[in-house]
Amino acid sequence: MLLRCFAVLTFAAGAMVLAAGIACAQGYPNKPIRIVTAEPGGGSDLAARLIAQGLTGSLGQQVVVDNRGGSVVIAAGIVAKALPDGYTVLLYSGTFWMVPLLQQVPYDPLNDFAPITLAVSSPVILVVNPSVAASSVKELIALAKTRPGELNYGSAGPGSPAQMAAELFKAMAGINIVPIPYKGGGPAITALIGGQVQLMFPSAGSVISHVKSGRLRALAVTSAQPSALLPGLPTVAASGLPDYETATLFGVFAPAATPVALINRLNHEIVRVLNRAEVKERLFNANVEVVGNSPKQFAVAIKSEMTKWSKIIKDAGIRAE
């Protein structure tokens, strides 16, 4: 009898929470919304501003972008401690869930946040210096196997997207290529053009002009499917490494315990903004592609990402500086 009563009370409490969440969503929003993101000028900043502009029109409340420079810890900490009422959200790159795999941080990407949507992605491409005797992924792998430890790849340092993409490539291809860290992606690309390193996995937008000018040679895109941003360029997976996939991802998160009704409302509104033709065009011209999936799909993707990269980090012995 006690168990039956407890079950009834638990069900009633759950129903009350659900009803409260729905009521909250129906009256939402009634004040400005804040999107916390990285410093101005990056991919997340552009996506945040386009989303903010679209939401301001559709929700009838001002949506502002709060740029926070420095470490992702700063932006994540603000949102983790915010009230779970749908008025403060985080838009950040995959650095958000990668950094906790490399060092201790004061937040848990899985337990302190509620995924809203994987908003956009930016393809990563495998490029080599023109002096490298390889015009395809297969040729590069064959070359690396004949010269173990002689080919170097550039990156912005431990845990950077370029290093993680290279280490995944290295592990799956069974080759020995040596990491050369630089203080940022720009210096690494300069070193690649100058021949100090032989290959790199930079974001498409950062090297497209160098590929077109012939200063660099593009071999493949790292996404699962070919990218419209790079027509004619094959994927790494289709070029000799089946199942290879990585990209620079940008997602939107709310604080944990945000009512499901609010998460779903935000998801619906953000995805609708992202799929507007003019928004897609602006992002495409900035070498960014729209994704816009469901909260559940995004949660599954994050867990999969963390599982994959934690193994790569452990096997490669990568440590934060």
Domain boundary among 202, 221, 245: 245
pTM here? Answer: 0.88
In single-letter form, the type of residue at position 81 comes to K
Helix (H) / strand (E) containing 253: strand 247-255
User: Which residue has 């908003």 as its token pair?
Assistant: 119
Would you state the pLDDT for residue 42? 76
DSSP state of 123: E
Clarify whether residues 294 and 231 are in a common domain: no
Through-space distance between the first and last CA atoms of the chain, rounded to whole angstroms? 59
Would you state the pLDDT for residue 24? 58
User: Which residue has 């386009």 as its token pair?
Assistant: 50
Clarify whether residues 145 and 239 are in a common domain: yes
Domain boundary among 191, 218, 245: 245
Count of domains observed in the chain: 2
Count CB neighbours of 263 within 10 A.
24
Are 286 and 46 in contact by the 8 Å Cβ rule? The answer is yes
Give phi and psi for 268, each to the nearest 5: -60, -45
Would you state the pLDDT for residue 44? 87
Local confidence pLDDT in tens for the 321 residues of the chain:
433 433 433 444 344 444 445 545 678 999 999 999 998 887 789 999 999 999 999 999 999 999 998 889 999 999 999 999 999 999 999 999 999 999 999 999 999 999 999 999 998 999 999 999 999 999 999 999 999 999 999 999 888 899 999 999 999 999 999 999 999 899 999 999 999 999 999 998 899 999 999 999 999 999 999 999 889 999 999 999 999 999 999 999 999 999 999 999 999 999 999 999 999 999 999 999 999 999 999 999 999 999 999 999 999 998 876
Clarify whether residues 272 and 310 are in a common domain: yes
Domain boundary among 223, 245, 267: 245
Would you state the pLDDT for residue 159? 85
Would you state the pLDDT for residue 157? 85
